[in-house]
Amino acid sequence: MGQNACPGQRPRYTAPACRGTIMTTEAPETITVEDTIIACDGGGGALGHPRVYLNMADKGRVECGYCDRLFILDPKAKPKSHH
């Protein structure tokens, strides 16, 4: 394998060939939102992905598992109460 054995590898998972290396990849898009539960469909219409609902809980941020968009809670927002 070459110098970069795992190009594009996300930091949340380290393949065995990449253990010991630190690889960081910026989110393709960062979106500031005003609620802790959001929906993501990839934003590409027919080229997007199935709609998924993501819950930030108390973290204030969540990343979509399909498209890697990063959603960050606006610090000035007053999140809605969800039942």
Tell me the per-residue pLDDT of 30-82, one tens digit each, with 9 for 90 and over. 999 999 999 999 987 788 899 999 999 889 999 999 999 999 999 998 767 66
Residues near 74 by beta carbon (within 8 Å), at least 6 away in sequence: 32, 33, 34
User: For the domain that residue 31 is a member of, what is the CATH number?
Assistant: 2.60.260.40
Quote the number of domains for the chain: 1
The answer as to whether 80 is a domain residue is no
CA gap 65, 36 in Å, rounded: 16
31 SS3 class? strand
The answer as to whether 1 is a domain residue is no
Is the Cβ–Cβ distance between 67 and 30 less than 8 Å?
no
Is the Cβ–Cβ distance between 78 and 39 less than 8 Å?
no
Across the range 16-26, mean pLDDT stands at: 59
57 SS3 class? coil
